[in-house]
């Protein structure tokens, strides 16, 4: 007789509200790679990286930020998808990201005020309130408040990006309304001080998110998946709170949303990195699961949770009901897949590898966070180059290398945006289409 490995509930299929089926409950959650080519298109490195994750056994891949406005990037090296970009590089990326038989969704995003001043494009936000980070606020421009007609343009950009993602062969999009980006800024009373229909009450502050969901769904087919990434809370006093998230999910229940991913925090209070400003969330594994159970109790769509998970036992517990509240439907894994891209496949085979995620314990929290992200990016670049992750990376050297690379990519971005002109017309072609994403990956 042969021993058989018990099937974990993590590997049960999940049918989404629109009828699409995820082959299992594990998702590769978004990480910001900043690995676009010189035209801010997906290139060979991104294709290799996503093919590795796809063949590693996840049921769903969520991309890193795909920016809907070429003048609004979270940082240099971000992928841009608007009407002026060619689709073929995205088709190649979709084929790579789906090569293992999984779903692959683009996370479409607008950063609002969370852009670096060095990018040279200024910033927009619901209100003219800048990012407040002790010792680092000067790295961000003071934004100007969006006019009503500009808000309509933002909504149209989200819809255009979603339609193009479907044309390219992705199976869905996730609308980024978390982590202090533009839609999240509208949701928070700390950053949204508007007195018109887009501010004030929670219903008004949630209007942008709901209108984006409606516009996206109107532009894609019924079988194309539409997800939302939402903060369970901002973890800042007076900000978007857990009870607000519950109400927003109730409103989303009335729209054709296939999945809600819960995270938390912003640049000002980076709970997504395990270090919220108000101390509500401990830097522990699966630190958003409790919030997800509370919100999941009212949600009609499946709930996904992301935040620090790297052990199978912890992921399995997240699926289980507790204290009369449901478990989550999908478990997102991010950093662990940078160090072990085949982790889901190993879990399915019964292996329980120890994923050694480097911890950076510098006293200056801002620099420690930047160094930790730089270490992760080293791993992503190694996988994208066809190499294995490296177990021990110097955080200091990674941070220095990351800053030098960011400076180089910032110069390249400025040259790219200058070639496009101050306002590249919809439908215009970039100066030279990318040919970097040709197979094999």
Separation of alpha carbons 269 and 274, rounded Å: 9
Range 241-263 average pLDDT: 95
Residue 329 has pLDDT above 60, yes or no: yes
Range 255-282 average pLDDT: 64
Question: How would residue 268 be classed by pLDDT, with cut points 50, 70 and 90?
Answer: low
By 3-state DSSP, what share of the chain in percent is helix, strand and coil, each rounded to 5? 35, 15, 50
Range 74-103 average pLDDT: 97
- Domain ranges (residues) in the chain: 21-356
Residue 14: the pLDDT is 98
In order of 5, 32, 69, 280, the CA distances from 218 in angstroms are 44, 28, 20, 38
Range 76-102 average pLDDT: 97
Would you identify the CATH topology of the domain 21-356?
TIM Barrel (3.20.20)
Range with the poorest average pLDDT among 5-9, 19-23, 102-106 = 5-9
Short-list 337, 409, 419, 387, CA closest to 36:
409
Separation of alpha carbons 417 and 217, rounded Å: 30
Range 401-427 average pLDDT: 83
Number of H helices, E strands in the chain: 13, 13
157 CB-side CA count, 13 A:
25
Do 410 and 76 meet the contact criterion of CB atoms below 8 Å apart? yes
Instruction: Decide the pairing of beta strands 172-177 and 21-22.
Output: unpaired
Residue 433: the pLDDT is 42
Residue 372: the pLDDT is 92
Question: Can you give the C-alpha Rg of the chain in angstroms?
Answer: 20
Residue 324: the pLDDT is 87
Separation of alpha carbons 306 and 298, rounded Å: 19
Residue 355: the pLDDT is 85
Residue 234: the pLDDT is 65
Residue 7 has pLDDT above 90, yes or no: no
Residue 438 has pLDDT above 50, yes or no: no
Q: Mark 227-266 as b/e (b = at least 16 C-beta within 10 Å).
A: bbbbbbbbbbeebbbbebbbebbebbeeebbbbbbbbbbb
Separation of alpha carbons 284 and 92, rounded Å: 37
Residue 274 has pLDDT above 90, yes or no: no
Range 173-180 average pLDDT: 95
Range 12-22 average pLDDT: 98
Residue 221: the pLDDT is 98
Question: How would residue 237 be classed by pLDDT, with cut points 50, 70 and 90?
Answer: confident
End-to-end CA distance of the chain: 40
Residue 366: the pLDDT is 77
Backbone phi, then psi, for 388, in 5-degree steps? -80, 155
Question: How would residue 228 be classed by pLDDT, with cut points 50, 70 and 90?
Answer: very high
Do 19 and 223 meet the contact criterion of CB atoms below 8 Å apart? yes
Crossing angle (nearest 10°) for helices 289-296 and 312-319? 20
Residue 400: the pLDDT is 96
**Could you report the per-residue pLDDT of 357-376, keeping only the tens digit for each?**
888 989 887 789 889 999 99
Range 146-169 average pLDDT: 98
- pTM exceeding 0.75: yes
More confident site: 279 or 251: 251
Residue 432 has pLDDT above 60, yes or no: no
Residue 2: the pLDDT is 41
Range 238-262 average pLDDT: 94
Short-list 301, 290, 310, 288, CA closest to 329:
301
Percentage of the residues of the chain whose pLDDT score is greater than 70 = 88
Residue 425: the pLDDT is 38
Separation of alpha carbons 440 and 435, rounded Å: 13
Instruction: For the chain, give the mean pLDDT.
Output: 89
Separation of alpha carbons 181 and 267, rounded Å: 9
Residue 270 has pLDDT above 60, yes or no: no
């Amino acid at each position: 007789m042969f021993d058989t490995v018990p099937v974990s509930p993590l590997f049960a299929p999940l049918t989404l509200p629109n009828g699409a089926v995820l082959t299992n409950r594990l998702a590769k959650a978004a990480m910001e790679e900043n690995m676009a080519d010189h035209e801010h298109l997906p290139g060979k490195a991104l294709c290799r990286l996503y093919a590795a994750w796809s063949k590693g056994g996840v049921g769903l891949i969520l991309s890193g930020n795909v920016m809907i406005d070429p003048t609004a990037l979270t940082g240099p090296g971000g992928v841009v998808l608007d009407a002026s970009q060619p689709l073929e590089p995205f088709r190649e990326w979709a084929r790579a990201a789906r090569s293992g038989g999984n779903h692959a969704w683009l996370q479409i995003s607008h950063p609002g005020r969370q852009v670096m001043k060095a990018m040279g494009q200024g910033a927009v936000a619901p209100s003219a309130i800048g990012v407040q980070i002790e010792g680092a606020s000067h790295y961000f421009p003071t934004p100007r408040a969006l006019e009503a007609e500009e808000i309509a343009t933002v909504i149209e950009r989200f819809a255009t990006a979603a339609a193009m993602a479907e044309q390219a062969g992705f199976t869905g999009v996730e609308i980024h309304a978390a982590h202090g980006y533009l839609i999240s800024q509208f949701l928070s009373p700390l950053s949204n001080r508007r007195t018109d229909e887009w501010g004030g009450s929670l219903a008004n502050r949630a209007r942008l998110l709901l209108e984006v969901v409606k516009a996206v769904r109107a532009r894609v087919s019924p079988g194309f998946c539409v997800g939302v990434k939402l903060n369970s809370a901002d973890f800042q006093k007076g900000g978007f709170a857990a009870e607000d998230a519950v109400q927003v999910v109730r409103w989303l229940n009335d729209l054709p949303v296939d999945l809600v991913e819960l995270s938390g925090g912003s640049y000002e209070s980076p709970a997504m990195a395990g270090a919220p400003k108000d101390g509500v969330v401990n830097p522990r594994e699966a630190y958003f699961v409790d919030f997800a159970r509370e919100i999941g109790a009212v949600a009609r769509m499946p709930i996904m949770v992301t935040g620090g998970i790297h052990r199978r036992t912890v992921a399995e517990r997240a699926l289980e009901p507790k204290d009369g509240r449901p478990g989550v439907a999908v478990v997102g894994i991010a950093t662990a897949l940078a160090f072990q891209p085949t982790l889901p496949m190993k879990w399915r085979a019964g292996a329980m590898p120890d994923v050694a995620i480097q911890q950076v314990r510098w006293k200056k929290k801002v620099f420690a966070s930047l160094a930790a992200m730089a270490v992760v990016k080293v791993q992503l670049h190694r996988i994208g180059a066809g190499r294995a992750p490296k177990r021990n990376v110097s955080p200091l050297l990674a941070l220095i290398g990351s800053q030098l690379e960011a400076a180089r990519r910032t110069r390249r971005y400025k040259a790219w945006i200058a070639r496009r002109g101050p306002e590249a017309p919809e439908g215009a072609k970039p100066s030279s289409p990318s040919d970097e994403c040709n197979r094999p990956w």
